[in-house]
């Protein structure tokens, strides 16, 4: 009976501690006030429970925008946030090349970190940054927002529950509505590290397994300037997974009808598919044929709910002292797959991910 009383006391104490954590508001700072930084700022200001945005910095800060949002602390140097005891977490939405050094700075300052992808394009730099995170004991979540899309998440839950049996084939279609400027492509790290990296992460997420081998085919069929910049704009990549499954990713930088984002997992007991989102589900049937809306045109519209959900998941992990749903290793693995795909494209043969 005495042991039962002790266990009950501990249970009550644990529950009280959890309630205290859940009641805590997580105060944020944001590094980077470009398109993605502003999106996250809007979500933290009004759509994420238990979050407060105190500061945002950018070397080219839009002062008029920050004033309209009533953000208390603004500036051009992110280091003003590192020594602020009120700031619990920092969201890194700066240009990709700055992610890793800023991640290290934030970790050493003891701030929890939400970092947009990629952490870096060099696996050594990523591993060194993750070592600092481990040393500091802070929480890190990497911004692979597509995991939080309600449609894709529902497919993954079917796989994880065993409803589809053993996964056999994972198919991912990802096509942008319009190509980026050639000058952007030149500094992006290439299509596989800039665009397909989301699909490599989705392949791991959906399959529940690691990618062991890739065979990539690429072409320049959309914009010759992208080819002159040393990149491709069209690709098909085949994957092999450690659990025996096979995968196919197809990419294009230009789909004239909108932002084309679809996935399918085919397994031993069935298949699950997620189609494109459209502005409405209305279908018109007449003598001319069947008419329905085109897919949503841009990623900000397509993944609006996912951006909110990923930030809520990060805030909840910090408040409840739980692991984040997208770890540092989840940030490293797609980079390794992307680099293997680049090697495969260059050599014209399959490439083992472990060789990177």
Asked, for residue 203, whether it belongs to a domain, the answer is yes
- Quick one: 124 and 184 in the same domain? no
CATH code of 231's domain = 3.30.360.10
- Contacts of 296-302 with CB under 8 Å at 24 or more apart are 296/258, 296/259, 297/177, 297/258, 297/259, 298/177, 298/259, 299/259, 300/35, 300/39, 301/259, 301/277, 302/149, 302/259, 302/261, 302/277
Domain count, the chain: 2
Q: What is the pLDDT of residues 167-186, one digit of tens each?
A: 999 999 999 999 999 888 88
Confidence class for position 21, pLDDT limits 50, 70, 90: low
- Quick one: 324 and 239 in the same domain? yes
Domain that holds residue 44: 2-138
For the beta carbon of residue 136, count every other beta carbon within 10 angstroms. 18
Asked, for residue 71, whether it belongs to a domain, the answer is yes
pTM, entire model: 0.90
- Quick one: 328 and 180 in the same domain? yes
Please classify residue 198 by burial: count the beta carbons closer than 10 Å to its beta carbon, then call 0-12 exposed, 13-18 middle and 19+ buried: buried
pLDDT of 3 above 60:
no
- Quick one: 154 and 34 in the same domain? no
Q: Residue 328: in which H helix or E strand, if any?
A: helix 328-347
Asked if 52 contacts 25 with a C-beta cutoff of 8 angstroms, the reply is yes
- Quick one: 113 and 161 in the same domain? no
Query: For the residues 241-262, what does the mean pLDDT come to?
Result: 96
* Mean of per-residue pLDDT scores for the chain: 93
Please classify residue 50 by burial: count the beta carbons closer than 10 Å to its beta carbon, then call 0-12 exposed, 13-18 middle and 19+ buried: middle
Asked if 117 contacts 332 with a C-beta cutoff of 8 angstroms, the reply is no
Distances (CA, A) of 49 to 17, 23, 294, 315, 316: 19, 10, 33, 8, 9
- Quick one: 238 and 330 in the same domain? yes
Residue where a domain terminates, one of 76, 107, 138: 138
Question: What per-residue confidence (pLDDT) applies to 8?
Answer: 64
Percent of the chain with pLDDT over 70: 94
Confidence class for position 296, pLDDT limits 50, 70, 90: confident
- Of 9-13, 15-19, 118-122, 196-200, least confident by mean pLDDT is 15-19
Distance CA 7, CA 355 (A): 50
Distance CA 276, CA 260 (A): 6
Question: What per-residue confidence (pLDDT) applies to 166?
Answer: 96
Asked, for residue 200, whether it belongs to a domain, the answer is yes
Question: What per-residue confidence (pLDDT) applies to 183?
Answer: 87
- Quick one: 8 and 130 in the same domain? yes
CATH code of 122's domain = 3.40.50.720
Asked, for residue 144, whether it belongs to a domain, the answer is no
Question: What per-residue confidence (pLDDT) applies to 2?
Answer: 47
Distance CA 161, CA 34 (A): 39
Asked, for residue 192, whether it belongs to a domain, the answer is yes
């Amino acid at each position: 009976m005495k042991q039962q009383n002790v266990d009950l006391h501990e249970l009550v104490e644990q529950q009280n501690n959890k309630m205290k954590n859940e009641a805590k508001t997580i105060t944020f700072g944001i590094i980077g006030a470009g398109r993605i930084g502003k999106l996250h700022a809007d979500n933290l200001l009004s759509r994420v429970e238990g979050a407060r945005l105190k500061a945002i910095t950018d070397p080219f800060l839009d002062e008029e925008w920050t004033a309209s949002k009533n953000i208390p602390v603004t500036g051009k140097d992110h280091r003003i946030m590192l020594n602020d005891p009120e700031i619990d977490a920092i969201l890194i939405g700066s240009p990709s090349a700055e992610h890793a050094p800023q991640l290290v700075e934030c970790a050493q300052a003891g701030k929890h970190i939400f970092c947009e992808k990629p952490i870096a394009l060099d696996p050594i730099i990523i591993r060194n940054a993750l070592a600092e995170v481990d040393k500091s004991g802070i929480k890190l979540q990497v911004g692979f927002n597509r995991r939080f899309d309600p449609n894709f998440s529902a497919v993954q839950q079917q796989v994880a529950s065993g409803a589809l049996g053993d996964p056999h084939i994972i198919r991912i279609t990802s096509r942008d509505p319009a190509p980026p400027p050639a000058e952007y492509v030149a500094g992006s790290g290439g299509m596989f590290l800039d665009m397909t990296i989301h699909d490599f992460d989705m392949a791991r997420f959906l399959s529940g397994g690691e990618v062991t081998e890739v065979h990539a085919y690429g072409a320049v069929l959309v914009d010759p300037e992208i080819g002159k910049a040393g990149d491709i704009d069209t690709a098909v990549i085949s994957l092999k997974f450690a659990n025996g499954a096979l995968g196919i990713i197809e990419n294009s930088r230009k789909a004239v009808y909108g932002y084309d984002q679809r996935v399918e997992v085919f397994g031993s007991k069935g298949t699950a598919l997620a189609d494109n989102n459209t502005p409405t589900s209305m279908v018109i049937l007449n003598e001319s044929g069947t008419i329905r809306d085109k897919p949503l045109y841009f990623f900000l519209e397509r993944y609006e709910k996912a951006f909110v959900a990923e930030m809520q998941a990060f805030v909840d992990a910090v408040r409840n002292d739980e692991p984040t749903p997208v770890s540092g290793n989840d940030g490293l693995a797609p980079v390794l797959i992307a680099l293997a795909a680049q090697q495969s494209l260059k050599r014209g043969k399959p490439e083992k991910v472990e060789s990177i």
